[in-house]
Structure 1
Amino acid sequence: MMPTVIVNKMTAVHSKSNGTSICFPDVCKTPTPGGPIPIPYPNIAMSSDASDEVKKVKFEGAKLMGKGSKIKMSSGDEAGSAQGVVSSKIKGKAEFVNYSFDVKAGGKNVCRLADPMQQNMGTANGAGPAVFQPPNVAMEALAEYCEKTNEKPGDDEESNKTNWGKSGVAESHQPAFEEVAKSQGVLIFVRWSNPKCTEKQWIQRGHRP
């Protein structure tokens, strides 16, 4: 499922958020006719294998991952069956090394999109640079920002005649934006040209969608 809960402008990670962390290289000893040799493999950890989640707190019907949560098993290095050079493991667990410092759930710091992990039992050569997962669709986010500047409906009525609602997207582009949002689950930033927004620096002047 596509995650919708936002923490520090990033989606929260849980067992149903389709989160993935990939590290390379995970150097493992691989059997050969001449004896085992070290070969680098990718190591992949999936949030669907989450363990030690936050107790009594669920996001989108799934237990949340927080500080201390782990992904109990990884994959990708199975061919290195003589075990990891550093960890002496393959398919080892992965653990977050960063998380939100100011948002907690159940007393645990919340883990988010783009937080890095240590993989295959936390070895130094098994650093996953960032968890990635489908972000939330935010076509109307700028309208919410404008509300904070006390914008009133209809203040830019002329613009709304040619733009798609409050998104700042030309009506002719609407089908393409909708198709991408529904099929790919990507985060779409669109501009809102009303000067009340740009003057408050919600979005830079001259920005192009």
Structure 2
Amino acid sequence: MTKNVFAGMWEIAAENGMNKSIARFPDVCMSPPSPPAGPIPIPYPDTSFSNNLQSASTTVKIGGKGVALAQKSYYKEPVLGDEAATRTFGANVVTHQITGKTFFQAWCMDVKFESKNVCRHFDITTSNHASAATTTAPLVSLEMQNLADSQYAIDNGVCPCCGDALHEWQRDPDSTETPKKPYKAVTSTEFWQSRVDRLPAGANKTNMEAKFKDFVMAKSAARANSRAGGAGCNNVHPSETSGCAIHFEIPQGKRHPDPDNPGDVLTTSGLCAKDFGHAKKMRIDAVWSARTGTPAVAGTSRNHITPKQAGGCNDPNNVVPENMMGGPECQEIEDLQSDLEVGTNSLV
């Protein structure tokens, strides 16, 4: 029953309480029938309860039970609501989970237990996680508030985009540390400004300077359009410091050992591309089809928003099918980034 302990006018969520996360939607999972008719992506509603709270507070309790803490506690249900899907077909298109964890995405900002903000009834939750990254609405990646937050995650071995372990192409192959030292996090503007500035004087540099200026302005316009309630562009991250928008400062000449061909080496882009196999491409199509209601088109390219040569992740929140980017202004942004990649390729 309710314990009537409040923070910021809302009751605190605790194991010995009655908080519910009801019908979190959509939990998109690959589901029967079997091939050739399937599998097909189906959005499931997920439900979880506070009596299944895990990783709760240990020194401060309500009714003798632990309290939900921000970015630590979660609900773990024996039955979540997506059990009709199957792991055989890949389960959730983002986390590859069934009956995953439910995490809080909001909490009380001015009340803390054990140095962590407390979570409450009515605070937003998202469900079916493998870790703390989001899979049900709001369907976004692991969001960082600023560049320092992203660098902290990177230094602790976490990709700021997908929330999984840092990818090999995001680490310095020449590092003598174990694991290898990650590259420094920078914004898109910093990444491309550095590249363009280092080009030798000449016609190409002048052209790239103009392309860079147009690129920055076009992305700013798309973000402003989205904030004003417009369509925006699916190939533009919400901000320059959101998790998947983070670029990596990669010095010229860095090469990684080819895991499949001993003695051969790959660029950052090449190693990322090798990881981006058929299964991940199908996952991209399924996620974006579910988000936009637009069917995947055979042969369409799948474009990295943060590019592969900047250490971009292969997560659906950083890769979008070309036919689902948005209007012509979105294609212009993609074309400008492609021009920058080609025009600065001598610095890879």
TM-score band w.r.t. shorter chain: 0.5 to 0.7
- The answer to whether the 8 A contact 1:54-1:108 is kept is no
What's 1:111 paired with? 119
TM-score when normalising by structure 1: 0.57
Measured in 1, the distance between the counterparts of 2:15 and 2:55 equals 11
- The answer to whether the 8 A contact 1:86-1:123 is kept is no
Measured in 2, the distance between the counterparts of 1:115 and 1:53 equals 16
Per-residue deviation at 1:3?
A: 2.7
Match of 1:100 among 105, 108, 111: 108
Secondary structure at the counterpart of residue 4 of structure 2: coil
Equivalent residue runs for 1:1-209 within 5 Å: 1-22=1-22, 23-33=24-34, 34-67=37-70, 68-73=72-77, 75-81=80-86, 82=89, 83-121=91-129, 122=132, 124-127=134-137
Q: Percent identity?
A: 35
Please tell me the residue identity of whatever aligns with 2:46: N
- The answer to whether the 8 A contact 1:8-1:100 is kept is yes
What's 1:170 paired with? none
Structure 1 runs of 4+ aligned residues shifted over 6 Å read none
Q: CA 1:6 to 1:124, structure 2 compared with 1: closer, same or farther past 3 Å?
A: closer
Per-residue deviation at 1:25?
A: 1.2
Please tell me the residue identity of whatever aligns with 1:99: W
What's 2:278 paired with? none
Structure richer in strand, relative to its length: 1
Please tell me the residue identity of whatever aligns with 1:62: K
Per-residue deviation at 1:57?
A: 0.9
Secondary structure at the counterpart of residue 96 of structure 2: coil
Q: CA 1:29 to 1:123, structure 2 compared with 1: closer, same or farther past 3 Å?
A: farther
- The answer to whether the 8 A contact 2:128-2:135 is kept is no
- The answer to whether the 8 A contact 2:106-2:125 is kept is yes
- Which whole-Å deviations, capped at 9, do the CAs of 1:76-126 have from their partners, x for residues lacking one? 000011311122111101111111111112222111111112211155441
Structure richer in helix, relative to its length: 2
- The answer to whether the 8 A contact 1:21-1:128 is kept is no
- The answer to whether the 8 A contact 2:16-2:62 is kept is no
Please tell me the residue identity of whatever aligns with 2:122: A
What's 1:200 paired with? none
- The answer to whether the 8 A contact 2:95-2:135 is kept is no
Secondary structure at the counterpart of residue 28 of structure 1: strand
- The answer to whether the 8 A contact 1:10-1:113 is kept is yes
* CA root-mean-square deviation: 2.0
Per-residue deviation at 1:7?
A: 1.0
Q: CA 1:126 to 1:18, structure 2 compared with 1: closer, same or farther past 3 Å?
A: same
Secondary structure at the counterpart of residue 51 of structure 2: helix
- The answer to whether the 8 A contact 1:7-1:103 is kept is yes
Measured in 2, the distance between the counterparts of 1:123 and 1:12 equals 22
Measured in 1, the distance between the counterparts of 2:58 and 2:109 equals 19
Q: CA 1:78 to 1:128, structure 2 compared with 1: closer, same or farther past 3 Å?
A: farther
Please tell me the residue identity of whatever aligns with 1:14: A
Please tell me the residue identity of whatever aligns with 1:80: A
Q: Return 5+ residue gaps in structure 1 as ranges.
A: 130-209
